[in-house]
């Protein structure tokens, strides 16, 4: 059986501006770098969470190409999961403890 990954889209800095300023809605953006092993683990966990159907749109972004948001949100390390609700940064998560922890945050 082929599992289709419809859940996590790449997003660029211009698109983050749009998502981060939505008056209504929920989004989660995982900031990563290509060579980060922990980022790959976090991405795999988020793929599982997104596939279960959560109320957040889930995206990934290469932090090297998002200097504005790296500064604005003072992202100190990757992986970093920005949780956005109704145009406001609600929380920045640095420790992706488990699939169930992430699911509980995004359900």
Residue 94 lies in a domain: yes
- Looking at the whole model, is its pTM more than 0.75? yes
On whether the CB atoms of residues 21 and 70 are closer than 8 A, the answer is no
pLDDT band, very low/low/confident/very high, at 4 (cuts 50, 70, 90):
very low
Q: What CATH number is attached to the domain comprising 97? A: 3.40.30.10
Count of H-run helices and E-run strands, the chain: 4, 5
- Domains: count for the chain: 1
Tell me, what's the pLDDT at 7?
60
Domain containing residue 83: 19-106
Residue 2 lies in a domain: no
Evaluate if residue 37 carries a pLDDT over 50: yes
pLDDT band, very low/low/confident/very high, at 58 (cuts 50, 70, 90):
very high
């Amino acid at each position: 059986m082929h599992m289709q990954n419809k859940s996590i889209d790449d997003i660029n800095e211009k698109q983050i501006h749009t998502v981060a300023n939505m008056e209504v809605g929920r989004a989660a953006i995982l900031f990563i770098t290509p060579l980060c092993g922990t980022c790959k683990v976090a991405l795999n966990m988020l793929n599982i969470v997104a596939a279960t159907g959560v109320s957040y749109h889930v995206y990934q972004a290469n932090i090297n190409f998002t200097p504005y948001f790296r500064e604005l949100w003072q992202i100190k390390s990757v992986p970093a999961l920005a949780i956005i609700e109704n145009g406001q940064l609600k929380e920045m998560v640095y420790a992706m403890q488990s699939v169930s922890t992430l699911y509980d945050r995004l359900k």
